[in-house]
Amino acid sequence: MDTLNLDFNKRYTYADYLTWMDDVRRELHDGFIKLMTPAPSSKHQELSTNLVSICWNFLRNKKCKIYHAPSDVRFPKDRKSKEDQQVYTVLQPDLYIVCDLSKIDSRGCLGAPDMIIEIVSPKNSKRDVKDKFEIYQEHGVREYWIVNPNDENVTVFILDDKSKFQFVGMYAGDDKIPVNIFKGDLKIDLEDVFLP
């Protein structure tokens, strides 16, 4: 329930978003409010922690960094704009990696991360598989992983030279997934992600 009585048919900006001082988690999709599901399940949190740990260990002493929700990623319409009033899309990916650290500020990330990982639940799968997929593609996220905790698989997409996501593969079991933004120098063993 939205305690501020916001108009879900009105278009808002990140400047508006900053004024909403309550405990309700929201995202903005092209200016329109999308309420987020309540706290993630323990399985979701375990997967997130496992992925953060693996990536953090690899990224130590490297120029890229990993961040996790809740952390705002702002996607301005004009990629050069830094004005809060020009940002209509604000998302909170489960995990994201940024290699251009000039995009990071005290409020999160301004511009497209290099890689985003979303861990889906039955309540948000359409949003991650369709809506966020389109937003991440439009704004130039280089690699997008969709983690399905129930089926214990990961679907990987990479951005091609025409700025379209291409399906790389679906991974499960004892697969080791190469992280494309690192040219395969990092391979994530799914047995370390989906621990028994």
CATH number at residue 163: 3.90.1570.10
Distance CA 73, CA 121 (A): 20
**104 part of a folded domain:** yes
> pLDDT tens-digit profile of 143-192?
999 999 999 999 999 999 999 999 999 999 999 999 999 998 999 999 99
Residue 147 has what pLDDT?
96
**What is this structure's pTM?**
0.93
The sheet carrying 143-148 orders its strands as: 65-68, 95-98, 115-119, 143-148, 153-159, 165-172
Residue 2 — very low, low, confident or very high, per pLDDT cuts 50/70/90? low
Number of independent structural domains in the chain: 1
Domain containing 185 equals 41-69+91-193
Domain assignment present for residue 142? The answer is: yes
Give a yes or no: residue 83 inside a domain.
Answer: no
